[in-house]
Every structure is written in structure tokens, then in C-alpha cells.
Structure 1
Amino acid sequence: MTPRPAAFAIPGDIATPTGGYRYERRLLEGLRDQGRDVLHLQFGGSFPDPTPADMADAVAQLMALPPERAVILDGFVSATMDPAALARMPGPSVAMVHHPLALESGLDDTRRDRLDRLERENLALISHVLVPSPHTRRIVTEQYGVPAARVTVARPGTDRPTGPRVPADPPLILSVGIQHPRKGHDVLLQALTRLRDFAWTAVIAGDCYDADHGRHLDALLLSLGLGGRVRLTGRVSAAELDRLYSTASVFALATRYEGYGLVFDEALSYGLPIVSCATGAVPDTVPPEAGLLTQPDDPDAFADALARLLTDRAACDRLANAAAAAGLGLPTWADTAATAGAVLDALPGG
């Protein structure tokens, strides 16, 4: 059977260094590797708050598609498109929902309610929904009313490390995530102040996605007096990220919410014990034998978990071994594309 042709509508720069963009970039590549004809529709970068011009352009691109070509809509698009336009689309549609937008941190009540209402209305019009985790699937079905038969989990793939781990001395605590309030880097910094008497260094690697929060982190790092032991690197190259994972002893992300969290799979693939928070999809993503999870926004508990791994070598080794074993069983990006491809081929009207 010839794979069904498709289009993937993604706003802004597909090379943006976030987990969501990386997932969609790799999914697009994987679908094309199947021999599938997949167009990349680049929408304006103003989504999820589209300007009138960007909305008009997005609608025009979608209406120009032939009915046999299915379209995957990035979650920023599927949540905030004009519902009347979605209802008129010529072919079937698939929403790629990393997590519903109303669950984002830092929203005021008015904006949260508007995003919630609009995404609910749009999901009722979508042919199928792809999600990265069972957690997001539960939210979409139980809270947003999408029938379970119209939701498929396409777990992100993972690239296997090519070299051995060479842990640094003193131990390196690595955190990877964009500089955004949801990632909880401020909580990690506060936790690290409680560990001054232990030997460690720390790196927080990730693009400055929120400029105001980036300035807040810089000021917090300075005020806490951690500048000599903690580096906020901003965006790093793939080669540098590989080096950081390979030399780290612990992976730590004090996140306030994750719809999935690609970095946890990366940490598992490198055999790193994980300290994070019991929120969102994290408990589903981090095996209990491979990580320690605290409640969000609790620097004391986060510091205690880190201290345990820094001082109890046997416990750290047990978690590291479990992480490495879990990493070997993670799906590849070809597996992710196979799941999404099967959804596309099963859509009506092919």
C-alpha cells in the first residue's frame, strides 16, 4: 500500500531548540524516511497567539491542500486555529498535542479560560489526536472529552549514545531544559544552595526561551553566590550536549509540569539517575527504580534527593544501572514515525 500523503503544519522555525520542536522535526523526517510524501507547511511564528495575517496565511495554506492529503497540526496551531476554518478543511486532520495549552505555567485566569475553551472546541473537530505520553492521553480523553479511539500515544524516540560515560570529578549535576518558568530551574538553584558542603558542579543547559525569566535566573544565580559552581550555558551544540550527558553523574530537572519530557529519555539512555518532580507525565516517563521524584516547588525536598545521590554511592549506582537498563528499551524515532504513519493511513477518505 502506498503511504498516505500528508502535510505537517508547524509555526515558526522548525529548528527551535525545544523538546516539542525537536519531536516534530524528527517525526517529519521519520515519516519521509518511510517513503511518504510529506509537505512541511511553515506557519507564522505568532502562534499560539496568531496575528490576523498569520491566521489568514495558515487558513489559506490549509484550504489549498487536496482532500486526499492528511494534515498534522502542531499543538499551538490545533489549539488556536479558527474553528470555522478547521470545520472547512478539505481533508482529515491530526492534532499533535504535547500538552493542552491551558496547562502552561504562568497564565492569568482570562487567558487560561480562553485557551481551554478554544482547544476543546477545536479538538472536537479534529479527526485524530497524537500525544507523546499516556498522561497526556488521559487528559485529552478524560478532561477534554476526546473519544479514546481518536487518541494515539506516539512516544518520542531516542538516539543511542555513541561513546562511553566518563563521569567528572567532582560529580556533575546536569539539567537540560529551556529557560522558562515551567522548567523549575529557579527551584534547582535554590536546592543547590543547600548543598554547599558537598563536592559537585552543575550545568543548566537550554535556550533562553523566556527573556524575562532568563534575566531572573541570572540574577538569582548571582544573589545565591553560586556563580563559581553553576553554569547557565544557554543553547549548546549537539556535540556539547553529548559531552555533558557523558560526564554527568546525576540528571536533575525541578520541573513544574511536563507533557512528556524528552530529556528524561536522553538521561536514561546515558544511564543517569534522575531527580525530578512528581508532576504531569514525569512519573510515567521516569521508572521508579531509576529516579527520585519530589513534589514541585519544594527546594528542600529536591536538595535532600540530590544529597542522597551525592553521598550514597550504592544507591546512586542502583539507580544508574536501572536507568541504563530502561534506556536500552526506549523506542527509536523510526518507531515513533511508524506509530504516526499507521494513524495517517487509517484516517477516513484515503
Structure 2
Amino acid sequence: MPDKRLVFAYPGDLETLTGGYGYDRRVIAGLAANSWDVRLLSLGPGFPFPSRKTLQTVDEALSALPDDTVVIIDGLAYGVVDQAAGKHGKRLRLIALVHHPLCRENGLSKDVAERLLASEGAALSHARHVIVTSPATAVQIEDLFGTPKDTISIALPGTEVLEQRRNASEGAIRLLSIGTVTQRKGYDLLFESLGHLKEMDWHLDIVGGLEADPGCVVALKNQLDTLALTGRITFHGAVPQEKLSDYYCSADVFVLASRYEGYGMAYTEALAHGLPVIGSGAGAVKDTLSVGGAIYCGVEDVQALNAALSTLMSDAEARQRLADAAWNAAQSLPRWEDAVKVFETVMEKVAQ
């Protein structure tokens, strides 16, 4: 019988309310349910810009692991622990879990992006295998870092489909966006678009952490003041996963104007709730939304966002058609057990 023990290492707090951490939690739970002995290892705070002390802690933590230990390291940390990966990569069986390349985060200076590109490439060269969350990210990892295709596996995020479709709300159209408030999520683009649609009756709820980029939050609130939209948009902050369904079920349209996504779990969760979806962005967004029930608006295309929002807010029949298509499309989306099987296959391979 194969050894079903592993270490799952992650940055910061595993309970952080973001899609990436949510993915990690679901995979860990699935592995544990399949009788894997999963040891959790926090690598400390500050990633992807850790302090020297944190990097020293990472080195010490990896040094303490026995030879041939299978170690999955979340990419938010793995991409900047290249020195530790180089030191321990031959002794440990390292697996990198990459949600998206760190250098593709929006708002980075050229120097910082280049530094992340170099460190992540170096770190990945020491991994026995790389797990990514979408085909688009697999292609990027191969192109950016020269990672051999046969050492990359794709574990698409799972989706839980509701048994019943949601009920439409009455009154103002309820728009919903879910995602940490950062430049990459494109809230400024969405606000610009909604600024052209002030004559329509709508309200936007934004669910997502406000702590990751305080400067972005300030800029967005200033933008709302300039556009005279302050009373029509509510920032709710991050909420626990079990509370998210309440927001999905009370919405009429899900819209997220991201600049880039490694997959876009919020999009598929919205589809599963039977919500018509409007989305944008580079990376995996177009592929994620291609299943149906969604309008893809390109990359940073405010006019396309205007057109999609205007159509769905003004035409109840169009909303219902897209909602039906969304719920139907969600029936064929991957499940979490599918993602867990990918992890199991990879771990069994690297353990040989």
C-alpha cells in the first residue's frame, strides 16, 4: 500500500477568505476524506513579499522534514522561496500548486514583476511536479518558465450545484461582484461602466476583503464620489463561505470585470446558483465562461461591459434565458472530487 502522508504548506492563514485559500481548503478536506494523512504547515505572513525572517522560517521548516517527504506548497509562497526550493528540492518531493503566475498580478512595478518572474521560474525548476488550476495557466507556466509539459497537471476547481434554481428579486436590479478588492479585480472598470448607466435602477454589492490593497480601496471610494455612485454600491468586506450563498441567491446578475484570472471560481459559483454572468479579463476567464450562461466582455473593455449590463438590466426575459443557461451549464462543471483525484495521481507519481 502506498504511503498516504503529505505536508501541505501554505502562506499566512489557511482560513483567509479568498478563492485561492478556499481551493486549498477544499483539496485538503478531500484528501483527508480519502484517508490521506495531511500535515498542515503555515509558512508565515507577508507573501508574496516575505521578510528575511519569514524566509528563514521556511528554510527551517523544510529542513525539519524527513527525506522524501511529499510536500505541496501553495504558489503564493512557492514562487518566492526559490532558495529554499533549491536547497531542499533534491531531498524532498516538492509539488508546486500555482493558481496564477505571481508576476501577472496587476499593479506591480516592472522591477517587481521581473523579480517575481525570475524567482518563480527558479523555484519551479526544483519542483517534481506543478499543479495548476486551469489550462490557460498551464500554458503560461510552460511559456514563461519553460516547465516541461509532462510535469504539469491541471486540477480545475470544483463546483457544487444547487438542487433548486434561485428566485428573482423585486425592485432594483441587484448586481453582485465577489473578489478581493485589488486592482486585478477591475472594480474601477466596473464603476466606470456603471457611471454611464445611472439612469437605470440598480444596486451593486461587492463581497471581498478590503485589507489586501488599502490604496486601491481608497482610490475606488474616491472614484465613487467623482461618479456620484456612493449610495448605490456597498462594500461588504470578506464573508465566510457559508454566507456567500445568501448573496448569490439575492442577486439578479453576477458581474466581475477582472483584468486577469487564473481560473475564476466566483464565476462558476455564480453559474451554479443560476445567475446570469458578465465577466472580463485575460488568463482563463474566456475559457471559464465558455460553458454557457455568461457574457464575456474581453479585457478592460468598458463599452462591452456597458452593453452587457444595459441588456441584462433592461430585459427580464434576457436575464431569465441566461440564468437558465447558467444553471444548465453548471451541471457539467467539474466537481471537487475530480480535483482531488488529480492531486492523488500526482502525489503517487512523485512518490515513486
TM-score class, shorter: over 0.9
Give the equivalent residue in structure 2 for 1:334: 337
SS in 2 for 1:161: coil
1:111-126 alignment, distance < 5 Å: 111-126=112-127
Deviation at 1:261, TM superposition (A): 1.1
Quick check: 1:320 aligned with 2:319? no
| 1:248 matched residue in structure 2 | 251
Q: Determine the C-alpha separation between the residues in 2 that align with 1:72 and 1:61.
A: 13
Q: State the shift of 1:247 in Å.
A: 1.8
Partner of 2:175: 173
- The match for 2:95 is 94
| Distance in 2, Cα, partners of 1:307 & 1:45 | 42
Once residues 199 and 4 of structure 1 are traced to their aligned partners in structure 2, the CA distance between those partners, rounded to angstroms, is 55
Q: Which residue of 2 aligns with 1:81?
A: 81
Cα 1:164–1:301 change in 2 (3 A) is closer
What TM-score results when the alignment is normalised by the length of structure 2?
A: 0.94
SS of aligned partner of 1:287: helix
What secondary structure does 2:131 align onto? strand
Give the Cα separation in 2 of the matches to 1:91 and 1:287.
39
CA separation in 2, counterparts of 1:196 and 1:82? 49
SS at match of 2:286: helix
- CA separation of 1:288 and 1:332: change in aligned 2, threshold 3 A: closer
* Corresponding position of 2:216: 213
1:61-109 C-alpha deviation (Å, 9 max, x unpaired) = 1122122420001102221114354343422110011111111101111
Find the aligned partners of 1:301 and 1:8 in 2 and give their Cα distance: 41
Does residue 198 of structure 2 align to residue 202 of structure 1? no
Q: Is the 8 A contact 2:159 2:335 kept in 1?
A: yes
- CA deviation after TM superposition for structure 1 residue 234, in Å: 1.2
Deviation (angstroms), 1:120: 1.1
Matching residue within 236, 242, 246 for 1:233: 236
User: Is contact 1:206–1:234 with CA below 8 Å preserved after alignment?
Assistant: yes
Structure 1 residue aligned with 2:13: 13
Structure 2 CA distance for aligned equivalents of residues 266 and 126 of structure 1: 31
Q: Partners in 2 of 1:243 and 1:65 — Cα distance?
A: 42
Q: Which residue of 2 aligns with 1:40?
A: 40
In the TM superposition, what is the alpha-carbon distance from 1:302 to its structure 2 partner? 0.8
SS of 1:30's equivalent in the other structure is helix
Quote how far apart the aligned CAs of 1:330 are.
Answer: 1.9
Q: TM-score, normalised by structure 1?
A: 0.94
What's the offset of the Cα at 1:239? 4.5
Kept in 1: contact 2:189–2:300 (CA 8 A): yes
> Post-superposition shift, 1:162?
6.1
Residues in 2 aligned to 1:155 and 1:27: alpha-carbon distance in whole angstroms: 11
Instruction: Look up the equivalent residue of 1:15 and give its one-letter code.
Output: E
C-alpha separation in 1, matches of 2:250 and 2:327: 15
1:283-315, Cα deviation, whole Å (9 max, x unpaired): 111126321122333323211111111223333
SS at match of 1:295: coil
Change (3 A) 1:84 1:172: closer
Q: What is the aligned partner in structure 2 of residue 128 from structure 1?
A: 129
- Contact 1:4 1:70 survives alignment (8 Å): no
The residue number in structure 1 matching 2:147 is 146
The farther-off stretch of 86-95 and 65-74 is: 86-95
Partner Cα separation in structure 1 for residue 36 and residue 131 of structure 2: 18
SS in 2 for 1:198: coil
Deviation at 1:278, TM superposition (A): 4.3
Structure 2 equivalent of residue 189 of structure 1: 191
Helix, strand or coil: the match of 2:13? coil
Total equivalences in the alignment: 349
Q: Structure 1 215/84 Cα, relative in aligned 2: closer, same or farther at 3 Å?
A: closer
Corresponding residue of 1:272: 275
The separation in 1 between residues aligned to 2:148 and 2:238, in whole angstroms, is 39
- The 1-side partners of 2:63 and 2:161 are apart by 40
- Partner of 1:232, secondary structure, is strand
Residue 60 of structure 2: aligned partner: 60
Q: Do 1:194 and 1:300's aligned partners in 2 also have CA atoms closer than 8 Å?
A: no
CA RMSD of aligned residues (A): 1.7
Between the aligned partners of 1:38 and 1:255, the Cα distance in structure 2 is 33
**What is the SS of the residue equivalent to 1:219?**
helix
Q: CA deviation at 1:202?
A: 1.4
> Is residue 5–residue 68 contact of structure 1 (8 Å, CA) maintained in 2?
no
Q: Return the offset for 1:236.
A: 2.5
Deviations 1:222-264 (A, max 9, x none): 3322233221111224454211101211110010100111101
Q: Distance in 2 between matches of 1:336 and 1:62?
A: 26
Return the alpha-carbon distance in structure 2 between the equivalents of residues 163 and 238 of structure 1. Answer: 19
Q: 1:231 to 1:331 in 2, by over 3 A?
A: same
Counterpart of 1:129, as a letter, is V
